[in-house]
Amino acid sequence: MRTDFADLVAALDIGGTKIAGALVDDRGRLLARAQRPTPAHEDGATVMGAVAEVLEELGRAAQWPRVRAVGIGSAGPVDAARGTVSPVNVPGWRDYPLVAEVARRADGLPVVLVGDGVAMTAAEHWQGAARGRANALCMVVSTGVGGGLVLGGRLHPGPTGNAGHIGHISVDFDGDPCPCGARGCVERIASGPNIARRALEAGWLPGPDGDRSAAAVAAAARAGDAVARASFERAAQALAAGIAATATLVEVEVAVIGGGVAGAGDVLFAPLRARLRDYATLSFAAGIEVLPAELGSDAGLVGAAAAAAQHLGLWTAREPGPA
């Protein structure tokens, strides 16, 4: 019988804009929260200071004595094997020993680190659109493009915690250079800033408010602007090629897409589903379903907790995974 004294996981969701934390129970409920802005352009110690403040605030919650582990979903690259992070948008952290620093501030609790795309995947598989699916690709399409895999009914983070990072599959071999060092990556074509950049370069004009974001491009596309629509169609084509390649390689049955760009709705999803039919042509890949994510901004926290629980064997009666 369930009690109100089940083990909890302290979850951290670390990005270039904010550092969020929560205490998460075995039903995915967030029982306490804390948040600080990420001092992304400061030195590593200052960034860690913000993480420490989040942990300290969570530590003052009445439920803290029930915490058995800390799960971290971080912008990457991450290296779970070494416990280090090197987020592209947090230059003060390069090979930063985040796991050791968090463990030192969390009473020596076990700490599990995954990339933010893997955390989102864990959340959507446990509580969201990929629930009950044995093999899934989940993606975050926002400022960047990240992702993660569920294979055989379990989260598959890979040795370093980055498996499924679809944003850096090359889909345009002679395309634009990507900050990762490759060319023509999915992220270079389908991320929000690149959707907006391409629309502006092709002649799209922002409205009177001057909003140049991908959301503004999406609004213009919905209103019938051909240039804005073309930029989203190009992004959809890149995503479709990446999804098809992944489905061909590991036979996923569903692709779940979240993040700010997914908020464009049918402006993105309609051409994505259409172009996927052009690329996923083999019988075992042709039936892949594309769904919007369900968990929104809490996915990183729920998923960081779920990833830690799976790795450490917590919540065995309600282990994150298929219902």
pLDDT band at 76 (very low <50, low <70, confident <90, very high): confident
When pLDDT is averaged across residues 221-226 and rounded to a whole number, the result is 96
Q: Is residue 9 pLDDT above 80, yes or no?
A: yes
Percent of residues, the chain, with pLDDT higher than 70: 96
Is the model's pLDDT at 120 over the cut of 50? yes
3-state secondary structure the chain: CCCCCCCEEEEEEECCCEEEEEEECCCCCEEEEEEEECCCCCCHHHHHHHHHHHHHHHHCCCCHHHEEEEEEEECCCEECCCCEECCCCCCCCCCECHHHHHHHHCCCCCEEEEEHHHHHHHHHHHHCCCCCCCCEEEEEECCCEEEEEEECCEECCCCCCCCCCHHHCECCCCCCECCCCCECEHHHHHCHHHHHHHHHHCCCCCCCCCCCCHHHHHHHHHCCCHHHHHHHHHHHHHHHHHHHHHHHHHCCCEEEEECHHHHHCHHHHHHHHHHHHHHCCCCCCCCCEEEECCCHHHHHHHHHHHHHHHHHCCCHHHCCCCC
Query: What's residue 4's pLDDT?
Result: 54
**238-295: per-residue pLDDT in tens?**
999 999 999 999 999 999 999 989 999 999 999 999 999 999 999 999 999 999 999 9
Q: Tens digit of pLDDT for each residue in 159-176?
A: 888 899 999 999 999 999
**pTM of the prediction?**
0.88
Is pLDDT above 70 for 321? Answer: no
What mean pLDDT is predicted for residues 136-164?
92
